[in-house]
Amino acid sequence: MADLKKILIANRGEIAVRVARTAHEMGITCVAVYSEADRDALHVSMADEAHLLGPAPPARSYLNIEKLLEVAELSGAQAVHPGYGFLAENAAFARRVVDAGLVWIGPHARAIEEMGDKLRARRAMQAAGVPVVPGGTEPIADLAAAREAARRYGLPLALKASGGGGGKGLKVARALEEIDSAYSTAVREAQAYFANPTVYAERYLDNPKHVELQILADRHKNVLHLGERDCSLQRRHQKIWEEAPARIPESVREGLREAGIRAARAIAYDSAGTIEFLVSGNEFYFLEMNTRIQVEHTVTEMICGLDLIREQIRIAAGEPLGYAREQVHFRGAAIEGRINAEDPAADFRPVPGTITAYREPGGPGVRVDAASYPGARIAPEYDSLVAKLVVWAPSRDEAIARLRRAADEFVIEGIATTLPVLRALCDEPEVHQATYGTSSLERYAQRWREEARLSSQPSHRAAELAKRYRARTESALKPAPRIPRSRRAHAAQSGDTVSSPMHGVVVEVCVAPGDAVQAGQVIAVIEAMKMMNEIRAQRAGAVATVHATIGATVEVDAPLVTLSSLSQ
């Protein structure tokens, strides 16, 4: 059994702070790493020592395996905790850590490898008798194969990155004429995010519940579950509201738990991990397995009383779990709301910037996991997470009421955030009834925007509700950076320039000089804060000039393409 006294946290932000807190409680010294953009970050000041990795781009800092291993050796760290994201599910990194004589605080590399490739995972789950979403187990080689998959499995059809997850590299075609675009976009995102263009096809389930099972397994063949989380409220296939326990039929709950344990045993899993399922009516299907700690692990901790980071470290040190499932008691209800630097009024567009004011809520049953403070910069190179607002209460209704109160207390200024969306969700009837699914939030957001538009007409019945929501949203968005009014007006009047609405990196230019484009056609793709954003032409025209270059960093309002009339 390893006696861990010093660990390197190979991550940043909220999760690095979270790991450091538990490690310090365990008497473990923490080594932080940081990029040049994160010199003043909270995780740096909380660690016992910190080492610079390199410039802000992740490839030159947090994804630099050689530099991370160099820091581990230099600092004398005995183990590496990868957090989530970055290299957390990189089997090659896990192997390099172990080969360097260090302890990897996560599952063995074979499990990461097998579950990291979604096609391999589907095959493994089928072999273990775990139900999977109807679809293929072979790569989609070309457009013809994508069209054939639509005929075989039906519509809507999901085209998904084999090497990915988290909604990246996932495109849905609801009609045959959408297959080509969905396939090409899924391949493009798969390559950009995961350096693996392989995609596969499966039937897309309309508005199912996204339910995940928390697994704990040690290196002594003990495997248990810690209950389910409902993570169905999502935008762009990215979670924003997670709760435990999930409201699902008891027969589904029992079957899902049994299947999850069987799945973990099938790959000899040996850490904290999450098995994700889609639940539709009385049926459930394996979706994927995350071989790391999840962002939303907090709600499981709140209802079962365990510290999952502590359990990860104990397992990695070779300790047995030391308890059976029956000794873990679930109490009450917990909800986590993710607060991201995104503009809800602009289709959740990422908006990096500096936090000018920040005050967390408190009181009974309220927990905030964050690395934010007044003056903290939300950098465009990284994920847009600002904070996780977590609440617990004896009942679900009380938990929603507590989240509503805590959201009202939370102050974040200087950037737009999803905080007003969390607050609005607290008043949605379907949320109270727990009848929402994976497409519900997009439907709510569309209605909120329409109500906000109609609220300018006092006679409309929805005016009061929309006015309250709009006031809350505008208050949250007010300090966010905006293009000067004169520049917006000029762009709207001329209509000739397609500009970037965000800071980011150009990953694809879809047009060339002389091309004819239609209104709404994609002309470029920009990656901003770990999201792919399709930039579309505001009108039809001919491409006069292409300003964008693949790989270039662009600022807000930078010209991408200049259009001329089609007659010229």
**What is the CATH number for 61?**
3.40.50.20
Let me know if residue 444 belongs to a domain.
no
User: What are 77's two structure tokens?
Assistant: 């760290």
pLDDT at 504: 80
Same domain, 185 and 285: no
How far is it, in rounded angstroms, from Cα 356 to Cα 165? Answer: 33
pLDDT at 471: 45
Cis peptide, bond prior to residue 458, ω within 30 of zero: no
pLDDT at 529: 66
How far is it, in rounded angstroms, from Cα 176 to Cα 558? Answer: 35
pLDDT at 262: 97
Residues with Cβ within 8 Å of 169's Cβ and at least 6 positions away in sequence, in order, are 160, 161, 163, 186, 189, 190, 193, 194, 199
Same domain, 194 and 282: no
Read off the CATH number of the domain in which 144 is found: 3.30.1490.20
Same domain, 176 and 46: no
Same domain, 297 and 417: yes
pLDDT at 457: 52
Indicate the number of domains in the chain. 4
Read off the CATH number of the domain in which 330 is found: 3.30.470.20
pLDDT at 505: 82
Same domain, 174 and 192: yes
Let me know if residue 236 belongs to a domain.
yes
Question: Where a domain ends, among 414, 439, 464?
Answer: 439
Contact, 346 vs 528, CB < 8 A?
no
Same domain, 282 and 169: no
Same domain, 410 and 281: yes
Give tens-digit pLDDT for 474-505: 444 333 333 232 223 233 334 789 998 877 88
Same domain, 75 and 188: no
Domain hosting 39: range is 6-105
pLDDT at 552: 83
Let me know if residue 472 belongs to a domain.
no
- CB count within 10 Å of CB 547 equals 18
Question: Where a domain ends, among 105, 125, 160?
Answer: 105
Q: Which string of b and e fits 53-87 if b means at least 16 CB within 10 Å? A: bbebbbeebbbbeebbbebbeebebbbbbbbbbbb
How far is it, in rounded angstroms, from Cα 233 to Cα 245? Answer: 15
Question: Where a domain ends, among 105, 126, 150?
Answer: 105
H-run or E-run covering 433:
helix 429-433
- According to DSSP, the residues that pair with 517 across neighbouring strands are 541
Same domain, 62 and 32: yes
Let me know if residue 463 belongs to a domain.
no
Same domain, 177 and 296: no
Give tens-digit pLDDT for 321-372: 999 999 999 999 999 999 999 999 888 989 999 999 999 999 999 999 999 9
Residues with Cβ within 8 Å of 252's Cβ and at least 6 positions away in sequence, in order, are 279, 282, 283, 284
Let me know if residue 543 belongs to a domain.
yes
H-run or E-run covering 349:
strand 349-350
Angle in degrees, CA 62, 66, 68, rounded to 5: 45
Residues of the chain with pLDDT under 70: 1, 165-166, 455-494, 529-531, 566-568
Quote the percentage of the chain above a pLDDT of 90: 74
Let me know if residue 429 belongs to a domain.
yes
pLDDT at 467: 46
Let me know if residue 475 belongs to a domain.
no
Let me know if residue 380 belongs to a domain.
yes
User: What are 139's two structure tokens?
Assistant: 């790569």
Contact, 499 vs 557, CB < 8 A?
yes
Same domain, 217 and 351: yes
Read off the CATH number of the domain in which 523 is found: 2.40.50.100
Same domain, 253 and 355: yes
**Looking only at Cα atoms, what is the longest distance across the chain?**
76
- For the full predicted model, state whether its pTM sits above 0.75: yes
